[in-house]
Chain A
Amino acid sequence: MSKLVDWARRSSPWLLHFNSGSCNGCDIEILAALMPRFDLERFGALLKGSPRHADVLVCTGPVTRQQAPRLRRIYEQMPEPKFVMVVGTCGSTGGVFRGCYNNAEGIDNVIPVDVYVPGCPARPEAIALGAVKLLEKLKNAQKQARGEK
């Protein structure tokens, strides 16, 4: 039974997109990646509106002061096992906004992160690659949990 659940999760990860104060550049590229040309949905990915349905949190932006507690809460609302993918340089390190008084300089200062996709903004190809890397990670994690090699 757990094998079946793992297979389903691997074949159809549900994404939740969260903007923690980015400039929108990455956000429109995430959407562009889901559009006909790049079509991330062929990996089974589906954008969802609620954190309670999501497996993967796709996050952008350097986390503003107002957003930090909300990001934490959204992360806590997601069911286990959960994964976080950061899209964009400012989400990874603070990027161009490093040193600004109102942001946390990166999402990993607030919640644990699994995959970083750099780029300002990240190109849809890079986002697709990040998604594939995340799926591999998911697969390995599942194997480990079942005690396989």
Chain B
Amino acid sequence: MAELTQIPKTEELKNEYEIVEEIKNLLGSDLLEYKVPRVNRVWITVPNGKHYKVAEHLYKKLGVWFISTVTGLDLKDHFEVLFHLLDMQRKVEITIKVPVSKDKPELESLTDFYPGANLYEREVYDMFGIVFKGHPNLKRLLLAETFPKGEHPLRKDWTPDKWDPKKVQLIQRKPILPEETSDYVLQVGPQTPTLKEPMNFEVIVDGEIVVDVIPHIEYNHRGLEKAFEQRTFIQGIYMAERVCGICSQAHTLPYCDAVEQLLGVQVPPRGKYIRTMVTEFNRIHSHLLWIGVACHLIGWDTMFMYSWRDREVILDLTDLVCGSRVTAAINTIGGVRRDITDEQIHKIRKGMDILEKRTKTYKKIVLEEDTLLKRAVGVGYLNPSYLKAMSAVGPVIRGSGVKTDVRYDDPHFGAYDEIPFNVCTSDMCDIAGRLVVRVDELIESINIVRYILDHLPSGEVRVKVPRKVPPGEAVSHNEAPRGEVFYYIKSNGTDKPERVKVITPTMANLLPIIESCKGHYIADFVLNFGSIDPCIACMCRTTFTDISKSKPKQWIWTDEQMRQYGIEWYQNRGWRR
């Protein structure tokens, strides 16, 4: 086992060493290794079995309540499981490494303290076959039903089987009965399930009240994490961009940041500012898209058209700066690919003026228009302490008044440590709260873009970097429009990464939102689910089971029928468009 690494203490790393000292006092000689590679990062290696004690201490004594994700690693002779925790008070990202033997791949689950780790641990189980003892529902998460049993694709010795797309069988799910619900599984993919995304929910209802929701989201699993390992670091940027087409820029920023940490290069200030600006463009376009979709879901298509029309302004600006409407492709390792000119700056300012005017109108609409308020106020209530326990992220948790934002909690990516901005929150805890937060964030993003244009440093926009990346590992994250996007990258000294782990915000928000659907009417289900910013795809039907009848009855609706049902249900009760 490795010896203790000695790093000289400095004043800036006070918080980091405070945590290391705590763990040292707790474990003594059981602490195998620790390192503090830079500000805001602590890596701890502990033997299998001790991680439970460490997590208990961190959770109970130090108040670390947020788990970013759980990563699995195949190191040929043994596995490693990494728990990534974020300490919001001290602004430190803590990674607990646990070596696990290949003969007996078992370790204790941390769901006792972090129920939000539920899906993350299941993903590791699915991809590596590592068993988490004490996990409430350890089942496959995102591989297809037809995937061979007992195979785990992210193991290094796994070879893909040949499957014929023309012959894959459709496996019909068994009809669900309430007694059997524990046999059914929540499934979430590694990508953000958003607009028109393939997703399936099994909603168990009692009359008109939703009792339980079982989503199936393995439809969109493309095997991206394996694909990262087969591509070079530069190609990886474009893979990262296509994890999700809507928050594409939000993915490349942490990816490039993590690789830059491994290379030990600093992005020139101008490059950092341009990156940050395009990330904010991304947020503006995503939030406008969401406002439109939310209004479409309640049947208010006029507003849908308005917000999508205004969204074209920001897409044009992205096109102007980056050369493409949706996937910006402006980030590269070491900086950005293009500089911006004075003429472009002028056009961006003009665009921001238009958007600010429109956003203020939207804010007025959100706060005053009955069409929206009657569907949104008091619906989908989420308790802040429950959200904290589940490690929810983004506008969902901020809509319940918890002030967390990766840009604020760990600002050392992009230029967020130099830019003043507010973290928008709302105390309403319902769909209206999430709406208000998103509209406020639009205004905040416009102000950030303006600040960047006013304070744009001069000089280079990128530095040249070598193709080969020295061995090491790094984590980085970013506040995507929907919440935290997290990247873990391990390099082995070649031009290809050893492992890239991606986690997206919907994974964290899915379990809380299911909780908020329970006890509400079916009519509210679509908007409620929409409020975390995914959308039920057209193809993807919702199966309903009515348990109030003596013989359970099942029927299937498309998204469109469901939306229509919601609109009519409210119209019959006096709600008018």
Residues of A within 8 A of B (CB): 16-29, 31-32, 35-37, 48-50, 62-70, 72-74, 90, 96-97, 99-104, 109-110, 120-121, 123
B249, chain A: closest CB distance, angstroms: 12
Question: Chain B, 53-79, contact with A by CB distance < 8 Å: what is the 0/1 string?
Answer: 000000000000000000000000000
A120 to B558, CA, bound (A): 28
Contact status A65-B191, CB under 8 Å? no
A72 to B558, CA, bound (A): 17
Contact status B222-A97, CB under 8 Å? yes
Question: Chain B, 472-483, contact with A by CB distance < 8 Å: what is the 0/1 string?
Answer: 000000000000
B166, chain A: closest CB distance, angstroms: 6
Contact status B170-A99, CB under 8 Å? no
Residues of B within 8 A of A (CB): 143-147, 153, 160, 163, 165-166, 168-170, 191-192, 194-198, 218-224, 226-227, 230, 238-239, 242-246, 248, 289, 305, 308-309, 311-312, 315, 325-327, 537-539, 558-561
A78 to B221, CA, bound (A): 26
Contact status A96-B221, CB under 8 Å? no
Top 9 nearest A-B pairs (CB, nearest first) are: A25-B245, A49-B560, A104-B165, A69-B170, A101-B160, A66-B144, A102-B223, A65-B144, A23-B245
Contact status B558-A49, CB under 8 Å? yes
The residues of B that contact A23 with a CB separation of less than 8 Å are 191, 242-245, 248
A24 to B250, CA, bound (A): 14
A18 to B144, CA, bound (A): 18
Set A37, A69, A72, A97: member contacting B227, Cβ < 8 A = A97
Contact status A64-B220, CB under 8 Å? yes
- Given A21-B222, A49-B559, A50-B560: 8 more A-B contacts, CB < 8 Å: A18-B539, A23-B191, A36-B308, A65-B144, A96-B239, A102-B223, A103-B222, A103-B223
Contact status B196-A102, CB under 8 Å? no
Set B144, B194, B327: member contacting A120, Cβ < 8 A = B327
Contact status A29-B309, CB under 8 Å? no
Most chain A CB within a 10 A radius of its CB, from B163, B242, B327: B242
The residues of A that contact B325 with a CB separation of less than 8 Å are 29, 121, 123
**CB contact under 8 A between A49 and B538, given known A21-B198, A96-B238, A101-B226:** yes
Contact status B146-A65, CB under 8 Å? yes
A39, chain B: closest CB distance, angstroms: 10
A127 to B339, CA, bound (A): 30
The residues of A that contact B196 with a CB separation of less than 8 Å are 17, 19, 24, 27-28, 31
Set A27, A102, A104: member contacting B195, Cβ < 8 A = A27
Contact status B244-A24, CB under 8 Å? yes
A75, chain B: closest CB distance, angstroms: 11
